[in-house]
Structure 1
Amino acid sequence: MKIEVKNVSKKYKDTIALDDVSFTLEEPKIYGLLGRNGAGKTTFMEILSGHILASEGQILIDGENPFDNQRLTESICLIKEGGNFKRDLKVKNVLRIYSFFYPKWDGELAEELVKEYNLNPNAKIKALSKGMVSALGIIVGLASKAPITIFDEPYIGLDAAARRKFYDLLLEEYESEKRTIIFSTHLIDEVSLMFEEVLILNKGKLMIKEDAESLRDRTCAVSGPIEVVESFISDKEVIGKKQIAGMMTAYVYGNEEDALSSGLKAEGIPIQDLMIYLTEARRGA
């Protein structure tokens, strides 16, 4: 499903959550939606899911607005950090309700994952731990088979082993049936290798939308004596730099081989570090 984001802004009284954001997602991929707290990620996902309206601009899915559009909302599954399910419902009731809503619901997968995560089908949501509630959200997201599946920090309370299980399941389901998966997370290092495309928001603005592999290939950290590094980066776009005891490390858009040929040490920049450098307060939006 084609997603067109056209000059979208969202304001809450004096706060601008999104500021004239535009881009297009044209094919099923795993997209990493990244940014610091307050960057506008959750607001964007709620508009995309048809839960709220933009103040200005619009998001179109296959040419239609998702707000109050049942045909489209049946094709979108948003799993948020919390508050996805009514607390008095039982696990089995939650799964039954969602099975009626999503036309492509995979009941067998849901049952398999309930066992995988050791959930009691008769337990009420309010009796579950945070990790168990997160596991239920993951089950709903994967079993929905929604053409647009969105995970917004879906793993609260899950330990490292349970999160790894989720990542493996996500990749398995994606490989078996491609869909657009939008994944927002602060644990970027754990999942960045899954991302096929990266979007970085900062203070409501879109800073980067780029193929993940290309982004890794065209950015690097170069280290060496201050004078040599300064000379190397003089004609390059610098993301950030730091220095200590006569040595400097600069984070730049540039080729590692060029840096190595200049006698500098060079290595790739992890996407998590890149996001941090790009969104540091002194750089603005």
Structure 2
Amino acid sequence: MTHVIEVSHLSKRYGDTLALDDVSLTLEQDTIYGLLGRNGAGKTTLMSILTAQNFATSGTVRVYGEDPYENARVLSRMCFVRESQKYPEDATPRHALRSARLFFPRWDEGLARELVEEFRLPMKTTIKKLSRGQLSAVGVIIGLASRAEITFFDEPYLGLDAVARQIFYDRLLADYAEHPRTIVLSSHLIDEVSNILEHVVVIDRGRILMDAPTDEVRGLATTVVGPGDAVEEFVVGREVLHRESLGRVTSATILGRLDDDDRARLAAAGIDTGAVSLQQLVVRLTQRQSTVEPQPEEARR
């Protein structure tokens, strides 16, 4: 596959706070990525640097093989839908969409109008008077209708109700199928978006904890539940992400795939197994990281 973004040893420091810590990764053409992690993990900082809206302290970023800073050839091929996007004081959604179509060569006006209807967006109301969900809808419409070759969505669902979020997911998948591009979706609703992600990047405290295709992530961890002694004997030598006990029963989430011998051993010991969702895996991985390195007092952006 073709690399559209290449990041090498990227770091970003705000005073004493290290927001990104030696990050290296590549993003491929025509792939839907999930950029997952806790608040303050460094997701927004990373996307801001990739789209030339922030500066790295060290390291390099290449988009289509070029430095994106003040590079119109590159920037015209990207769209960054920020969670905290600012608009002029008297701007309306109509103004925002009219401006957006000037910046994106692949803008689809017909799609934009369809999305306005589906999200029931009041076009003449000033943006400052919109609800949080309506403000998010403005960003979602711009991100989808831009048809930019690389599109970043930073927490696009904030304020959207369940119906509106489903409209976003359905529309994203349908339009991606007809017009493939690279999409990076930053989200806290991990279980809700897990079925649309093709590749998962998990970041915590500015470091990449996981960078793998979603198909490889599924089944990467398993929860085993049974008599405490039997569970403890089984997990010896394995990486335990989480462990809890209630009376004589112990539950342990272990990292690593089970083979046929493992499953036979578990059955013989009366130990049950359960699948670990992507959200549970991300939670356990970040919890494990927190026990390895104490959280600094300064919050990362």
Residue of 262, 276, 285 corresponding to 1:269: 276
**Aligned twin of 2:293:** 284
Q: Which stretch has the larger CA shift, 229-238 or 28-37?
A: 229-238
Residue of 154, 163, 166 corresponding to 1:164: 166
Tell me, in whole angstroms, the C-alpha distance in 1 between the residues paired with 2:190 and 2:141: 21
Q: Which stretch has the larger CA shift, 115-124 or 100-109?
A: 115-124
TM-score, length of structure 1 as denominator length: 0.95
Residue of 146, 149, 158 corresponding to 1:147: 149
Would the aligned equivalents of 2:19 and 2:206 in 1 still touch at CA under 8 Å? Answer: yes
Would the aligned equivalents of 2:28 and 2:182 in 1 still touch at CA under 8 Å? Answer: no
Residue of 9, 27, 37 corresponding to 1:7: 9
Which residues in structure 2 correspond to 1:237-276 (within 5 Å)? 237-256=239-258, 258=260, 259-261=262-264, 262-263=266-267, 264-276=271-283
Q: How far did residue 257 of structure 1 move?
A: 5.4
Tell me, in whole angstroms, the C-alpha distance in 2 between the residues paired with 1:256 and 1:84: 49
**Aligned twin of 1:66:** 68
Residue of 64, 77, 85 corresponding to 2:87: 85
* Residue ranges of structure 1 left out of the alignment (5+ in a row): none
Q: Deviations 1:231-272 (Å, cap 9, x if unpaired)? A: 222132222222221211111123355443222211221111
Tell me, in whole angstroms, the C-alpha distance in 2 between the residues paired with 1:156 and 1:203: 22
TM-score, length of structure 2 as denominator length: 0.90
Would the aligned equivalents of 2:219 and 2:276 in 1 still touch at CA under 8 Å? Answer: no
1:25 equivalent to 2:31? Answer: no
Q: Which stretch has the larger CA shift, 233-242 or 168-177?
A: 233-242
Q: How far did residue 84 of structure 1 move?
A: 4.1
**Aligned twin of 1:233:** 235
Tell me, in whole angstroms, the C-alpha distance in 1 between the residues paired with 2:127 and 2:236: 58
* Residue identity matched to 2:275: G
* SS of the residue 2:281 aligns to: helix
Number of aligned positions between the proteins: 285
Which residues in structure 2 correspond to 1:130-145 (within 5 Å)? 130-145=132-147
181 and 204 in structure 1: CA distance in 2 versus 1, 3 angstrom threshold: same
Q: Which stretch has the larger CA shift, 51-60 or 61-70?
A: 61-70
Tell me, in whole angstroms, the C-alpha distance in 2 between the residues paired with 1:269 and 1:163: 24
**Aligned twin of 2:297:** none
Tell me, in whole angstroms, the C-alpha distance in 2 between the residues paired with 1:146 and 1:85: 20
* Identity %, equivalent residues: 42
Would the aligned equivalents of 1:222 and 1:229 in 2 still touch at CA under 8 Å? Answer: yes
Residue of 181, 203, 206 corresponding to 1:204: 206
Would the aligned equivalents of 1:242 and 1:249 in 2 still touch at CA under 8 Å? Answer: yes
Q: Deviations 1:28-49 (Å, cap 9, x if unpaired)? A: 2111111111111110000011
Tell me, in whole angstroms, the C-alpha distance in 2 between the residues paired with 1:167 and 1:115: 16
Tell me, in whole angstroms, the C-alpha distance in 1 between the residues paired with 2:228 and 2:6: 45
Q: How far did residue 193 of structure 1 move?
A: 1.3
Q: Deviations 1:46-83 (Å, cap 9, x if unpaired)? A: 00111011100011112111121111111111111122
